[in-house]
Structure 1
Amino acid sequence: MKILSLLCLLTIPALAGEPARHASDTWELTLESGYLWNVGNNTDIDYEIIPTQLTLRSPVVWTLWEDEAGAKIVVRNRFSALFEAITHGPEDTYIGLAGAPSVEYWFPSQKTSVYFSIGGGFGWTNSSGGDQGLGQDFTFNWFTQLGIRQKITENVSLLAGPYFIHHSNLGLTDPNPGIDAFGFTVGCAWTF
């Protein structure tokens, strides 16, 4: 009887399951799209772009701050595949990769967060070769994104926010026009 009692006590933690993890302690895959308009004066072309991003966020890399109520500020890694349809401009498409940290403030409910990313990468387009279009197919990108994430189920969230992207060739061609585009993205995220 003592052995049975001891076995029951040892299995209680296993029956209770794994302790609940914070939402930021999981991998997250997001799919976002939106619309961007040319801003600035890098080119006279009024570019319009439909950006689509497939983004993978890692579990927390650093916790910068946390309180007893469950609010916290964390940093996660972010890697994105960029697919852009250029609806107004001499180029048609852009395909690229970008990486950045994702700095996130999670509210105590652990269902809502605000995030910010700034980073960049590289990609390819079908350049026009004109004076105001991108001067070559290989380009670099730089982006910044601010957004809000709201969990709607345990593993699914909705995201939305403003988004800015810059495309250029870092002076590898002359002239060296670039694209500065600003707008918004909306999307869905899955955690695993």
Structure 2
Amino acid sequence: MLTADMDWVISPSWQGCGFASEAAQAMLEWLRSNGVNRFTSHILPAICASIRVAQNQALQATLSRKDGEIRWESQSPPSEVADVRARQGAVDFALVQRDGQRARLLISLPSSGAPQYWLYADPSDTADWVSQLLIWIDEEVFTGGLSGSRARLNIAGDSYVITENYGWRLEGAAEHARLSAAAAAGPSGWHAGGLN
């Protein structure tokens, strides 16, 4: 995922005229046309004019701070959730990528006792569990896509990408077996095992 970190400075006598917002908008449009789909900026909380510029560009304040500055970010998702179905012990949903590739995913809930492959740390609460899942989906879908290289299962006419403890890639039967064994699926997913 390509990221651009943006900053702007405008003289106090020109603040409020819209110049910074207009320039930021033009820069975002140019960056998007060149494949950048994630934008960040670091703004001191006391700089109200810069906060307005960030808000005008649909950047959102995060909890991340560095040298007193708040990190603001915007992200164009690589995929969208098109359909959600409740299943016994799982959530079943369809993902559609920007390029039109489509697949369904069946994600087991923690209460099912099934491996939670996407967890990179013990979740502190439900929101953290969902956040880790969305990060994993975003990274996996964006980098590997929903292409034919993914392991799939056809269920009642729907094509499901099979989630694996090392991601969704299927390089070949031997590589799949090696990675599956190395990952030792468990509550900590990939991080529970190791490649020897």
Structure with the larger strand share: 1
Structure with the greater alpha carbon radius of gyration:
1
In the superposition, the TM-score normalised over structure 1's length comes to 0.24
Greater relative CO, 1 or 2 (CA 8 Å, sep 6+): 1
Structure with the larger helix share: 2
